[in-house]
Structure 1
Amino acid sequence: MANSPSLVALLGLLAVAGYQNRDRISEALKGVQGGTGGQAQGGLGGMLGGLGDLFNGKSSGGNVLTGGLNDLLDSFRGNGQKETADSWTTPGVPTQGLKAHDVEAAIGKDTLTQLAATTGISYDDLLQRLSSNIPDAVDRLTPEGRFPKTDDEARDSLLRTT
């Protein structure tokens, strides 16, 4: 399955800093951008670093977070995990968790291997981080089932402390 740059960037965000460490997202992403690994991975480091700009309130050229969110949900829904993905965005429905193999099946081993190399996180650790961070982050990004219309709105949802 081919993944969009927006999806890969969102996954990088969730893997590097995670929802629960949102106060450190910007610093972590700037570190990824500054490393040589991103250059070797076809500019993925630049995309992840661009997310750091989003979290510093700088304008982006498009809707990276919102596009990545839609792609992420489509990946899980298209992989037979529609009920699980829908639980993250449906008000009143308990948010279902993920297992590492669910993430691998929906995202694809090649994309995850590239992301692990770019972020410097081991493959197994990456799977663990994503399986624990994706449900909570998507739930936070879609308050009351409403999807963010802009990256600014998505950023505010992720960084909200209450």
Structure 2
Amino acid sequence: MGNDLGSLLGGLLGGQGGKGGGALLGALLTSLGGAGTHGAGSNPLGALLDTLKEGGLGAQADSWIGTGGNQEVTGPEVAQALPYQALDHVAQQAGVSPEEAADELARTLPAAVDKLTPEGSVPEGSLEDLIRRQS
């Protein structure tokens, strides 16, 4: 599922995510969504946003969801906000270091979350359906 999700995200981002950004984000969403700890059900976007907010990136994440401008985030900030196991897993799948994965996610997350939350809130439904509606 991660590869399909990564392909869909890559298409959604239209190259904005940089090299492999969609695949990394897809793997991260799959990894975090599989935990089911945030009640996100079939939409792991909520779990990712909860994790980022709990990790100290609440203002940035809220800006990506909202209808205004997107605040930037750095790779080290992403690395600090995410569980190390999730970031390490994503990095291993992509064949990059955790630092490189965090940097790529920092470039990809603002645009991806912005596109997946066009009405200023996390929509209901599966993430795959959300992506297909936005593509």
User: TM-score w.r.t. structure 1 length?
Assistant: 0.57
User: What amino acid maps onto 1:110 in structure 2?
Assistant: Q
Post-superposition offset of 1:108: 2.4
Q: Show the counterpart of 2:70.
A: 95
Percent identity at matched positions?
27
| Unaligned stretches of 5+ residues in structure 1 | 1-5, 30-43, 49-61
Moved over 4 A (4+): none
Q: Does 1:70 align with 2:55?
A: no
| Corresponding residue number in structure 2 for 1:124 | 99
* In structure 1, distance between residues paired with 2:92 and 2:15: 21
Q: Say which SS state the counterpart of residue 81 (structure 1) adopts.
A: helix
More helix by share: 1
Q: TM-score, normalised by structure 2?
A: 0.66
Structure with max Cα Rg: 1
- Equivalent position amino acid for 2:87 in 1: L
Tell me the C-alpha RMSD between the 2 structures.
3.4
Whether the 8 Å CA contact 1:141–1:157 is kept in 2: the answer is no
Are residues 1:136 and 2:129 paired?
Answer: no
Aligned to 2:79: 104
**CA 1:126–1:157 in 2, change beyond 3 Å: closer, same or farther?**
farther
Shift of 1:20: 3.3
Match of 1:13? Answer: 6
Structure 2 CA distance for aligned equivalents of residues 157 and 137 of structure 1: 13
- 1:114 aligned onto 2:89: yes
1:87 Cα offset (Å)? 0.3
Unpaired segments ≥5 residues, structure 2: 32-40
